[in-house]
Amino acid sequence: MNINRLIFPGFWFGKTQREDALELARRGVGGFCIYGGTLENVRQLVHDLRAASTLNHLFICADYEDGLGKWIPGTTWVFSNLAVGASQSEEIAYQKGLTLAREARNLGVDWIFAPVLDLCDEPQNPIVNTRSFGANPQQVAQLGAALCRGLTDGGVLNSIKHFPGHGRTTQDSHLRLPTLNRTRTELEQNELVPFRAALPYADSVMVGHLCLPALDDKNPASLSPAVITDLLQNQLGFTRLVLTDALCMKAIGDEKHAALQALHAGAHILLAPENPFALSDFLQAQSGLEDLLENAIYRQEALLLRLPDTFKNGLEAPAFNQKYAAACSVWTGQKITLKPGQEVTYLELGNEEDFAAQAFLATLQANGIKVKKYDGCPADTLLAVSFSNYKAFKGHINLSGVEQNSLIRATENSKQSLFISFGSPFGSEKINALCARLFCFSPAEEMQICAAQILCDKQTAQGKMPC
């Protein structure tokens, strides 16, 4: 048996050398997690890696939590989980799973690391936020289980994450190790509720890099026998695959020894090490891993049997977005309706991703609204639009202090002002001059169009705040 089966390297287009990946495939790694690329790039890479692999089946994984839009230029963002949470609809969660599966299968990806089951109960959490279904554990449980079923029925494997839940932390585990100071009772009543509900539908569980002193005061969850073996496998009865969060994250120190510790703690897959060749050499030099290796390979083979021969074809991403946009939007505050011929002032905030608000602005203009950029002068109607959202290794979220001050000055300088968020819902709570808020939770083009139509009284926001 080959210890490399337990390593799932990452492949980052523009960073990872193709020949290195092909060599790893020839060495017998169990799978790859793909980041970036174009549609054709990904399809060709998947074909080449599988052709080079020594295995009967090489798993191809991706973090397509919100479809391809975050990773592949020119493709569509599928609404975030927080948008689905606003709808409170298990059917929409299920349909999102079908749509994500359809997009992945079309590229040869057979394993999506989703859904996120962390709770959105800490506004300053820099890495959960819109990835969560909301703050209510029971609602997150229902929607997460439904999305799992959609992924399965759509023909791909799923992975619930980040066990046992790190929504109520304020640090990005890509940069440092967060600590969740909850008692065991609090964990049972909050973080563990969604995972417990989704485990029957889960193909795999991704364990997070975070410290939970109530469970283990020495080791991160991803390296902890108390969390993986005692809690997840023995107490909760999970018998399928357990994988670490990406080992290249900075929360766990030396990845070689962390990987060895994770295996002894009960993990079966070592995800995305920074140096997979060094990890391979290190593990091959270890003794006493035979039983762990045999167990992990057995579970990988069993997981292959869960890849269905037949599957349901979900909606294409744009069609899904268009169908459910209004149900996933939330309006709070006084009613504001824009009329043809009306002039509005537009202020853009929190855009570090080069999102284009073109669809939003074009739809307003198509409805006869005149839009001008905010220049500091008094405005009759101000539309303050935020794209603030999570990003790995960024370490912060929501509007910066400078942006907060800009928003305050602009709202105080306007007769009426509306805050529109296509990302994080947090950041405008203390700005009393705002007349209303429209929460859309996603930069998807179809959501931008819907937001403009809501402002023009062509659609109605139907959702409720999930956090």
Catalytic residue among 174, 203, 209, 216: 174
Residues 6+ apart with CB under 8 A from 283: 3, 4, 6, 7, 256, 259, 260, 289
**If you write DSSP's letter for every residue of 10-25 in order, what string do you get?**
EEETTTS-HHHHHHHH
Q: How far, in Å, CA of 400 to CA of 226, rounded?
A: 38
245 as an active site residue: the answer is yes
Q: Kindly provide the residue ranges of all beta strands, DSSP E only, lying in 116-249, ordered along the sequence.
A: 160-163, 204-207, 241-244
Measured on CA atoms in the order 69, 252, 258, 233, is the torsion positive or negative?
Answer: negative
**If you write DSSP's letter for every residue of 415-441 in order, what string do you get?**
EEEEEEESS-S-S-TT-TT--EEEE--
Q: How far is CA 241 from CA 26, 230, 249, 297, 446, in A?
A: 23, 15, 21, 10, 36
Tokens of 169: 């932390």
Strand order in the sheet with 160-163: 160-163, 204-207, 241-244
Q: How far is CA 390 from the centre of its chain?
A: 9
Q: What is the SS3 assignment for 268? A: coil
Catalytic residue among 118, 121, 203, 245: 245
Residues annotated as part of the active site:
174, 245
